[in-house]
């Protein structure tokens, strides 16, 4: 397990590497040359890193808080999407044909096998209900917050 200290050092070095790469690219300076130049200009690199990390952490915390504030609204929007979905149930022959089709093709096959494992023993009403439930299950995969 990586210690908190090592993780912070690694993050700081990554930040400094990005900064020096950015600053040094136009003049083809090495990282050490950029660090020296910054120090010559009176920039405290260590302090700059601390401030940058604080700013990053504040931004992360603000994003978390925003997500927590937005979560109830997003949940309600998604619930409305789910509840507003109406399944048009076709006739029994079409349902059986669709189930056989789902059982025979790629990605949905395993999911459909689990869902329809005893479909040939079900009566017509149960098949209709099973079809509706499966369509809702497929629909749930597509439900996303409106802003995504």
Q: Do 28 and 67 reside in the same domain of the chain?
A: yes
Whole-number pLDDT of residue 43: 78
Whole-number pLDDT of residue 45: 80
Residue 99 domain flag: yes
- Does the predicted model carry a pTM greater than 0.85? no
Q: How far apart are CA 95 and CA 90, in angstroms?
A: 6
Each residue's pLDDT tens digit in the chain (148 positions)? 556 666 766 777 777 776 666 665 556 777 788 778 778 878 788 888 888 888 888 888 888 898 889 989 988 888 887 777 777 888 988 888 887 777 766 555 556 666 666 767 778 888 888 888 878 777 777 766 665 5
Whole-number pLDDT of residue 117: 67
Give the chain's domain count: 2
Q: How far apart are CA 110 and CA 101, in angstroms?
A: 12
Whole-number pLDDT of residue 20: 66
Residue 17 domain flag: yes
Expressed as residue numbers, the domain containing 21 is 4-76
Residue 138 domain flag: yes
Whole-number pLDDT of residue 23: 60
Q: Do 97 and 115 reside in the same domain of the chain?
A: yes
Q: Do 135 and 118 reside in the same domain of the chain?
A: yes
Q: Do 35 and 91 reside in the same domain of the chain?
A: no
Q: How far apart are CA 147 and CA 79, in angstroms?
A: 15
């Amino acid at each position: 397990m990586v210690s908190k200290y090592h993780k912070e050092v690694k993050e700081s070095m990554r930040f400094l590497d990005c900064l020096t790469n950015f600053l040094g690219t136009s003049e083809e300076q090495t990282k050490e040359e950029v660090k020296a130049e910054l120090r010559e200009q009176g920039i405290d690199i260590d302090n700059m890193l601390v401030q940058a990390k604080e700013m990053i952490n504040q931004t992360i915390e603000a994003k978390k808080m925003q997500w927590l504030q937005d979560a109830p609204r997003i949940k309600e929007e998604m619930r409305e999407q789910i509840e507003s979905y109406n399944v048009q149930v076709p006739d029994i022959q079409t349902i059986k044909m669709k189930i056989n089709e789902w059982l025979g093709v790629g990605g949905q096959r395993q999911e459909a096998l689990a869902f329809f494992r005893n479909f040939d023993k079900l009566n017509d009403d149960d098949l209709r209900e099973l079809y509706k439930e499966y369509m809702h299950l497929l629909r749930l995969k597509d439900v996303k917050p409106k802003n995504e």
